[in-house]
Amino acid sequence: MPLTHLNEEDALLRDTVRRFAREQVLPLVREMDDAAHMNPGLLKQLFELGLMGIEIPEEYGGQGGSFFQCVLAIEELSAVDPSVGVVVDVQNTIVNNAIMRWGNAEQKKRFLSRLATDTIGCYALSEAGSGSDAFALATTARADGDDFILNGRKMWISNAAEGGIFVLFANANPAAGYKGITAFVVERSMSGFSVGRKEDKVGIRASSTCELILDNCRVPAANVLGEVGKGYKIAIETLNEGRIAIGAQMTGLAQGALNHAVKYAKQRRQFGQPIAQFQGVQFDLARMAVDLEAARLLVYNGARLRDAGLPFVQEAAMAKYFASEAAEKIASKAIEIHGGVGVTKDYPVEKLWRDAKIGRIYEGTSNIQLLTIAKKLIG
């Protein structure tokens, strides 16, 4: 059975999300990109459709679905707008997953029901001085009675402008190095917590990216996720899953770019015939389709391994690496097929090209993925 085969339930979800993306998201794409702002009504619809809590158990208001279904939803949304895709991605594959895996019964009850129904989640690991070296973070957490006092700044936090719940990492014992890193569930309303400057980005502009400021932010010890000092393990394992989802985002983006390129090539006429009749254009489209299918197979393979409880770290790195590289290449070629109009905002391919760039950077750069793959190969 081919990896791209879907059972009836998965196919229904894919088709539902595809229809939603084309009917509800597509009319808002240009406006949201220009304004660098996610439409609040669209966020509400994402919750109403159950797309913000796909894997969350039904007892907490979620859909009780699979990781693979998260991947399908992200892919279909990203074919229309990767900014919307990343909102669903962060919520499901790193925030929800972190709390489902590491949260205690009380934390699951308190937070998962909100994340499934009305609250945006964010994942706060990166800082100005810790990007690829994620565990060089400087944010500290000092025990104070039944609380921790957090101080520091987080950078490049997706969905932060709209976020209400933050899985945030700080070092509770800097002398212990990475073994002091601890994960906390921080709420926007907590004293000493604020959302700072919003980045003005080249791509995925409707997805907010902001700094977080922690100025003697008081967080109850009951909000420690997992155990004190186990944050590095939570971060590593969660990001491994998130990388598959970024691969899905990039696969969806590439599909969108290819769709636009094929449509335009059939319509645009030169020398008395559609440019799709020229072998040079046909070869470009064929190469784009091959790279896209390879990316999709890698992403689906990683997702299905994860759902089966099998090792998937190397496959996740391969999926993210290849899909992000392919998406940028496919989006660029789609612009070329459009010719001069491809670089104008009258056509959607220039936006997809801008959106593709981040795929090779966030949740582990392409070089980090290659390093991960190589380490698995040589042991």
The answer to whether the beta carbons of residues 125 and 212 sit under 8 Å apart is no
Closest CA to 89 of 372, 363, 368, 365: 363
CA 225 to chain centroid: 21
Q: Which two tokens stand for residue 41?
A: 């009504």
Other C-beta atoms lying within 10 Å of the C-beta of residue 190: 17
Token pair of 293 as six digits: 């299918």
Cβ contact 76:19 at 8 Å: no
Does the active-site annotation cover 8?
Answer: no
Distance separating alpha carbons of residues 67 and 309, to the nearest angstrom: 11
Do the strands 181-187 and 269-270 form a parallel or antiparallel pair, or are they unpaired?
A: unpaired
Radius of gyration of the chain (CA): 21
CA distance 46 to 40: 10
Torsions phi, psi for 260 (to 5 deg): -65, -40
- The residue assigned the tokens 């945006």 is 120
> What single letter denotes the amino acid at residue 308?
A
In the chain, which residue ranges form alpha helices assigned H by DSSP? 8-20, 29-35, 40-48, 67-80, 82-89, 97-102, 105-107, 113-117, 231-267, 279-307, 313-338, 349-356, 366-378
Are 84 and 42 in contact, with CB atoms under 8 Å apart?
Answer: yes
Q: Write the CB contacts of 224 (distance below 8 Å, at least 6 apart in sequence).
A: 148, 182, 183, 184
The dihedral of CA 331, 198, 99, 120: what is its sign?
Answer: negative
**Active centre residues (catalytic):** 363
